[in-house]
Amino acid sequence: MQKSVLEAIKEGVWDFEPKSIKEDSYDPTGAMPGTREKLSVMAERVESGLPLWHGGDRTEYDDER
């Protein structure tokens, strides 16, 4: 069983959907979109089998999360 989308792709599984995880199980990021910090957080989520997005993530420059 694949833990993350990366593992699924390595195994040739192209329709992988991660388990549904509640947002209170992982932290949002205040990193600005497009920054190395934001990309790093998103990469860590994928590698950990977490959803890529969190509803509390910063989405705009003016967003002060």
20 in a structural domain = yes
Q: Is residue 60 part of a domain?
A: no
In this predicted structure, what is the pLDDT of residue 4?
79
Per-residue pLDDT of the chain (65 residues; tens, 9 = 90+): 567 778 888 899 888 877 788 999 999 999 999 999 999 999 999 888 888 899 999 998 887 66
Task: Using alpha carbons, list the distances in angstroms from residue 30 to 26, 34, 45.
Answer: 13, 12, 15
pTM listed for this prediction: 0.73
pLDDT at 50: 87
User: What's the rounded Cα separation, in Å, for the pair 19 and 22?
Assistant: 10
Domain count, the chain: 1
Burial group, residue 5, by CB count within 10 angstroms (0-12, 13-18, 19+): middle
Q: Which domain holds residue 22?
A: 5-48
Question: Which pLDDT score is estimated for 55?
Answer: 93
Does 63 fall in a domain? no
- The residues, any chain, with a CB within 8 Å of residue 49's CB and separated by 6 or more, are 3, 4, 18, 19
Q: Is residue 38 part of a domain?
A: yes
Report the pLDDT value the prediction gives residue 1, as an integer from 0 to 100.
59
